[in-house]
Amino acid sequence: MSETQVSSRPNPITNIDRALGKRILIKLKGRRAIKAVLKSFDEHLNLFLEETVEITHHWDREQNAVVKKENDLEAIILRGDNVVFLTLDEAPEEVVAPVEHTEPPSDNPEM
């Protein structure tokens, strides 16, 4: 591969740099997510975040549904090896939340 081909590739760090000062959505290992304002980051993807909200989902047997829980964390430093992906927080809430468990559709054609 020539030097020109290597340098013309998009650099992920440049794209993350564009998110500085903006609200982002971060998917973490272990079925967790974080919404926060990205203040700074390093080459290991360690993130300094403000206005941080941790989002978890768990199955509630009493409600027979997935329940979303939000926990305000304020300012945190998130270690980069916990990050699965991050994006600008522009997705509608339905995309972020998991699909609830429902009963399979009935064979009744009237429904």
Encoded amino acid at 33, one letter:
A
Residue range 5-26, pLDDT digits in tens: 555 677 777 788 889 999 999 9
What value does the mean pLDDT of the chain take? 81
Please report the pLDDT score of residue 99 as a whole number.
46
Please report the pLDDT score of residue 7 as a whole number.
57
Sign of the torsion formed by the C-alpha atoms of 77, 83, 86 and 92: negative
Non-local CB neighbours of 100 within 8 Å, separated by 6+ positions: 65, 66
Mean pLDDT, range 39-61, rounded to an integer: 93
Please report the pLDDT score of residue 4 as a whole number.
47
Please report the pLDDT score of residue 12 as a whole number.
77
Residue range 77-110, pLDDT digits in tens: 999 999 999 999 875 554 444 444 445 445 555 5
Q: Which residue ranges form the domains of the chain, and what is each CATH number?
A: 3-93 (2.30.30.100)
Q: Cα–Cα–Cα angle for 48, 51, 54, nearest 5°?
A: 85
Mean pLDDT, range 51-71, rounded to an integer: 92
Please report the pLDDT score of residue 8 as a whole number.
67
Sheet holding 83-88, edge to edge: 65-78, 47-60, 32-41, 23-28, 83-88
Q: Which residue has the higher pLDDT, 68 or 111?
A: 68
Mean pLDDT, range 37-48, rounded to an integer: 94
Instruction: List, in sequence order, every residue forming a beta bridge with 33; answer none if it has no partner.
Output: 27, 55
